[in-house]
Structure 1
């Protein structure tokens, strides 16, 4: 989303002086945002994410507009909803909108921000997404389990307030170190998050599919809820022109097909570096693929921030 919006070369006026705050474009250039959704729907995906990854307390506070969380979230969902409905109307196949709830830039476990204000802002984020027409809430790129809890609890409070019951999906980000940013391994994440009543758990960002395989294997063996997996197009390679993601469309599609056949995720897609053409290849490869009958064997346990026992 961010790469494609920047490639459209929005002006400083489009950003209303808040250069880099992509969520402002939901209000000033909804046509640009809709064009990104259309590009992905046109290659056959079932779902798109809203342009609201940064519509949270910490990220918007960096621009001094943290009081606009609800407004920008609602606008982002409304744009995606219109695009989804237009594509459904054209061919009759259902399309869905995933309301993106990004992590922000502050880690509550490290004392960067208090839990209460963070939870309340996530509630505003989620309420805006729901009222704008999101079909599900996606808490993604989660790096701190306390931040993730704040997002899930905020999402649940918003759903209760609005009076609807939508799926809440959580995707954690496991670094190349093998743990989340603050040192949590995947078992600690599952043990801590599943009892919050989430409807799906998975992985996104930071790495390509190769580095995600063992973490996905753990989830497939033990998670009671369905799985999702959205890798980057490989590990980023830093060049003079910025980050380059090395996996080709076919390589990423090969990996996702293997994930589907081996681990049975219910939702697959792509994160950083995955263009519409990457998603076209994934759609062509996995739509209609045989999915194994996953039979998890959950292990009762307790978790610290770092590990489960």
Structure 2
């Protein structure tokens, strides 16, 4: 791959992006896939891997470049790289997972070159958001192990950083455990490269009002914000109308900045297939409202949005500052499904202890005999009786605590609507639990011995 040296150093671009997000509304681009397909790439362009858009980064960079140029030409501040599927699951379906870094770097490099060309013309910095898509494997459902996905996301981001991305956008996430794997993988990649790029996360909330696996927006915020992300928001699945209440929640409770990249409405089936009905003017109206009422710092579009949609958004929000926000964070823990505040106005915080192998003979015997359904039923009993959190301890002499924790926490992740308290003195056992739970867990009963401490035993537990 030919080398390319950006005209402005990365550190300067990142500082400018952080300043822009803090002081004004930044506008990103719209749909990528439909614009690529509109240019009718051949099967040879896809290297016989039909539909693998990321391959176009190396076979037809001119097509990818033209999409970035179309969006920059209408005034957007930043574009996303053509790397949405440059992950283990998506490339694995084409039997090319070894090309994650190659295709990620190529996609970022194309966007970087176009951004720098536009910046050179008028002196206004343009930015590149490295797109990290979710793939099709949901670790909460056991489709792939957490650590394998995390390491593959790390390779994805390593390529994006090498290609010149200014920020990392983890987008269209459907499973909170998958989202956490993306964020941790991205952090590891940036640490390895010695850079600190803004890390932006956008979850996808379906028309049902939750993420695909049933997570409410509060559970997403509680689980993801402590990971040190710079922004949280929504993209895909719905139009702006369906996003409004979820954005309102984020505006009221998120410490981070907030973003939105909706579809051009909900798809409508017609004789020529599906189309998205939201007009450019309607998308611009929605974003103006979002900026004023919810203090959004980053706006853009997803499926069905075009350069014309974004041109009108740019014209509408140019010069606007995000509306005032006075967030009221609610410290708490979360399950995959819901958040539970630590402060209970009408009760004490009740932690169910009957799923503790040291405190419950019934639970211990079920665990020792491998009666996992009985273990789950004991958890459900405590939910019905009004517990707010569930204490999970599998420590027992002579047992493989990592295996037991992995087995039971994996079941509790989807069977329990309550957050889990991971109760163990063994870091490996705690890690096994965290790698199965998409929500935000509480860690209990940590002992330090002979020089051990939080830095030495638990700092890199994820």
Aligned mate of 2:298, from 267, 271, 289: 267
Residue 133 of structure 2 aligns with which residue?
A: 102
1:153 equivalenced with 2:206 (yes/no): no
Using the alignment, how far apart are the partners of 2:271 and 2:87 within structure 1? 31
Q: How far apart, CA to CA, are the structure 1 residues paired with 2:217 and 2:318?
A: 28
Alignment pair present for 1:43 and 2:74: yes
Q: How far apart are 1:290 and its partner, in Å?
A: 4.2
1:130-170 Cα distance to aligned partner (Å, 9 max, x none): 11000000000000000000000000000000000001100
* Contact persistence 2:78–2:126 (CA under 8 A): yes
* Number of equivalent positions: 309
Match among 117, 133, 138 for residue 169 of structure 2: 138
Corresponding residue of 2:103:
72
Q: CA deviation at 1:92?
A: 0.6
Paired residues for 1:64-213 under 5 Å? 64-213=95-244
* SS of match in other structure, 1:36: helix
1-side partners of 2:61 and 2:84: how far apart?
A: 16
The residue aligned with 2:251 is 220
| CA pair 192-9 structure 1, distance change in 2 beyond 3 A | same
**Cα drift, residue 295 of structure 1:** 1.2
Report how far residue 187 of structure 1 moved: 0.2
DSSP 3-state at the match of 1:302? strand
- Normalised to the residue count of structure 1, the TM-score between the two structures is 0.99
* Runs (5+) with no aligned partner, structure 1: none
Partners of 1:118 and 1:238 in 2: CA distance: 35
- Residue equivalent to 2:312: 281
Q: CA deviation at 1:289?
A: 2.2
Select the residue among 318, 326, 330 that pairs with 1:295: 326
CA offsets 1:179-211 (integer angstroms, 9 cap, x no match): 000000000000000001101000000000000
> What residue is the counterpart of 2:289 in the other structure?
258
1-side partners of 2:249 and 2:125: how far apart?
31
Taking the aligned partners of 2:66 and 2:75, their CA distance within structure 1 comes to: 15
Find the aligned partners of 1:239 and 1:112 in 2 and give their Cα distance.
Answer: 34
* Other structure's SS at 2:339 match: coil
Q: How far apart are the structure 2 equivalents of 1:236 and 1:157? A: 37
In structure 2, C-alpha distance between the alignment counterparts of 1:290 and 1:17, rounded to whole Å: 47
Structure 1 equivalent of residue 343 of structure 2: none
Matched, 1:5 2:43: no
Q: Secondary structure of the residue that 1:296 maps to in structure 2?
A: coil
Shift of 1:239: 2.7
**Structure 1 residue 236 displacement after superposition:** 0.8
* TM-score (norm. length: structure 2): 0.66
Q: Give distance in 2, aligned partners of 1:171 and 1:243.
A: 24
**Larger Rg, first or second structure (1 or 2):** 2
Instruction: State how far apart, in whole Å, the 1-side matches of 2:164 and 2:251 are.
Output: 31
Q: Deviations over 1:208-251 (max 9, x none)?
A: 00000000000000000001100000011123433200000001
SS at match of 1:140: strand
Q: Distance in 2 between matches of 1:239 and 1:151?
A: 36
Contiguous gaps of at least 5 residues in structure 2: 1-31, 341-462
SS in structure 1 of the partner of residue 334 of structure 2: coil
Deviations 1:23-75 (CA, angstroms, capped at 9, x unpaired)? 00000000000000000000000010000000000000110101100000000
Aligned-pair distance for 1:288? Answer: 1.0
Distance in structure 2 (CA, Å) of the matches to 1:228 and 1:52: 20
